[in-house]
Structure 1
Amino acid sequence: MRSVHAVILSSLLALSACSSLPNRDPVRINVVGVEPLQGQGMEVRFAVKIRVQNPNDNVLTYSGVALDLDINGQPFASGVSDERGEIGRFSDTVVTVPVSVSAFSVIRQTYGISQMKTLNNMPYVLRGKLSGGVFNTTRFVDSGTLNLPGVATGSR
């Protein structure tokens, strides 16, 4: 019976500790660049550059980044980086994450693009996380429009 009380008490203390953490504003993420990388076989790779803004009064420390990129409402690319760093209070930095695109995604996007008249202003949704341990992982979502590099968009 004492062990049950100990577990309940420990759980309540843990919950009250979490509720006493200071409120943090969400980080702001913007895609600032997409550059082609060397791929393997049928794989296509890009370096996605994101600007991470920390609007808080404390330093944001991260030890890894994961991204999922959807284009035109379809899954397109995903990637991870073991990059480590800190984003100072009320500061920002650019983080680069290599992402891979499967051949199936390329085919699906090529078909979707063929239905469009231009490659300019393609809608995207970027989901990801900055890993910071159990209680400090920061998840984010960004959306907007982009132009894919290295793709011909019309006649010369």
Structure 2
Amino acid sequence: MNTRFALLASLCLGNGLLAGCASYAHLETPRLSIINVAVQKSDLFEQRLLVRLRVQNPNDRDLPIKGISYRLELAGEDFAQGVSGSPFNVPAFGEAEFDMSVTANMATALLRMLARGGGSDNSMESLDYRMIGKVSLSSGLLRSIPFEEKGSIKLH
């Protein structure tokens, strides 16, 4: 009798955990947008920036964010990377702002784009970008949410 009860309790607990995992696995990716950029330090090879970002939560539950990391590519070349380790909370269907330290290497990225032919007069009407990263959560079964944003910036 005790064995059957233990087996039944284990099955119920297992089903409950799977249902909980499934609900966390369906979180939508938060959306990030740049609000402000301030130069902290700049020289020819490296630029240190403080970027203020807004994160929007399209989910029906709060997102307790532990940190965010990302990498930015311009025209297929690595351009910048950044991290934010300050925890904050984004309310359900809400938004929050935070600061992120960013390291950019504009000279190297520009030289690589020019070497690939990106410097001809007709080819620089727009610039493709790609931002890849992850949002790390401080609680819940799902510990990080990857994100990827792609687009094009018109230069004229």
The TM tier, using the shorter chain, reads 0.5 to 0.7
TM-score (norm 2): 0.67
Structure 2 unmatched ranges of 5 or more: 1-9
> 1:13 Cα deviation (Å)?
3.8
Identify, as 1 or 2, the structure richer in strand.
2
The residue that corresponds to 1:3 in the other structure is none
Q: Any idea what SS the aligned residue of 2:32 has?
A: strand
Contact conserved, 2:134 with 2:145, CA < 8 A, in 1? Answer: yes
Contact conserved, 2:45 with 2:108, CA < 8 A, in 1? Answer: no
1:61 aligns with 2:64: yes
Which one has the largest radius of gyration? 2
Q: Which amino acid aligns with 1:56?
A: N
1:28 aligns with 2:35: no
1:135 aligns with 2:142: yes
Q: How many pairs does the alignment contain?
A: 140
Query: Identity of counterpart residues, as a percentage?
Result: 26
> 1:37 Cα deviation (Å)?
3.3
> 1:142 Cα deviation (Å)?
1.2
> 1:91 Cα deviation (Å)?
0.4
The residue that corresponds to 2:6 in the other structure is none
Q: Which amino acid aligns with 2:132?
A: R
TM-score (norm 1): 0.67
Which deviates more, 43-52 or 82-91?
43-52
1:68-98 Cα offsets, whole Å, 9 max, x none, are 0010122211121212101001101233322
Q: Any idea what SS the aligned residue of 1:131 has?
A: strand
CA, structure 1 residues 127+44, in 2 after alignment: closer, same or farther (shift >3 Å)?
A: same
Structure 1 unmatched ranges of 5 or more: 1-8
Q: In structure 2, how many angstroms separate the alpha carbons of the residues matched to 1:100 and 1:26?
A: 24
> 1:42 Cα deviation (Å)?
2.3
CA, structure 1 residues 20+45, in 2 after alignment: closer, same or farther (shift >3 Å)?
A: closer
Identify, as 1 or 2, the structure richer in helix.
2
Tell me the C-alpha RMSD between the 2 structures: 3.5
Contact conserved, 1:29 with 1:51, CA < 8 A, in 2? Answer: yes
Q: Which amino acid aligns with 2:148?
A: V
1:38 aligns with 2:41: yes
